[in-house]
Amino acid sequence: MSTLGPDYSFEQRAQARGLSIVAGVDEVGRGPLAGPVTAAAVILDPMRIPQGLNDSKKLSAKKRQALHDDLLLCADVSIAHASVEEIDELNILRASHLAMERAVAGLKQRPNHLLIDGNMIPRGLAGLSEAIVKGDSRSVSISAASIVAKICRDYVMWDLGQHYPGYGWETNAGYPSKSHKLALEKLGVTPHHRRSFKPVHNILYQEK
């Protein structure tokens, strides 16, 4: 594996097998106590791949935003969510797979090969798929998906933070930071908290 960051080699190998339209798929938001889980699917134009694509966590906020804006102009991008209700009903793994399935379904083009971050292929995805562990650091298509999914989910959490002040969602994006957990104890559980997650469940259980 190259230490230089992600490249286009997974995509090229698929294209060499006649699979011309390759989409990268990634999700963000499995760990938070609040908010949806968000997935993105991206089909890059090989002639217009933005420079500097990488795992969204390895990029500065400014670079991530710039790449997000470039991708919306030059790639086929689809973003989808699974709601807090779906997370609580299904479990977080299945809900994140559901968000991925929805993101793929929303692409303008129909991909004939999918590169999926992680070690599992969502069961609802038709066609040829390849799971790539640490894919957001290895495939530029998955990197692109990780960037647009993160930016979109951060916007969602910022917006929810305006309606539910005090939890710090504008900065913690719903993750279980110390201040978020303290606010949960002090202010209580909102409709956007995941009730199946232990810190939230425990507070609800105490209240009963």
Q: 189 and 203 in contact (C-beta within 8 Å)?
A: yes
What pLDDT, in 10s, does the model give residues 67-117? 999 999 999 999 999 999 999 999 999 999 999 999 999 999 999 999 999
Query: What is the CATH classification number for the domain harbouring 31?
Result: 3.30.420.10
Range of the domain at 38: 9-160
Q: What does the pLDDT look like over 17-68, one tens digit per residue? A: 999 999 999 999 999 999 999 999 999 999 999 999 999 999 999 999 999 9
Would you state the pLDDT for residue 3?
A: 55
Q: List, as one string, the DSSP characters of 122-143.
A: -TT--SEEEEETTGGGTBHHHH
pLDDT band at 2 (very low <50, low <70, confident <90, very high): very low
DSSP character at residue 197? S
The number of folded domains in the chain is 1
Flag whether 104 is in a domain: yes
For residue 116, tell me if it sits in a domain. Answer: yes
- 50 falls within a domain: yes
d(CA 48, CA 86): 36
pLDDT digits (tens, 9 = 90+) for 128-179: 899 999 999 999 999 999 999 999 999 999 999 999 999 999 999 999 999 9
For the record, the structure tokens of 13 come out as 């190998």
Do the domain assignments include residue 181?
no
In a domain, 176, yes or no: no
Residue 179 lies in a domain: no
Q: What DSSP designation does 114 have?
A: E
Question: What are the beta bridge partners of residue 132?
Answer: 117
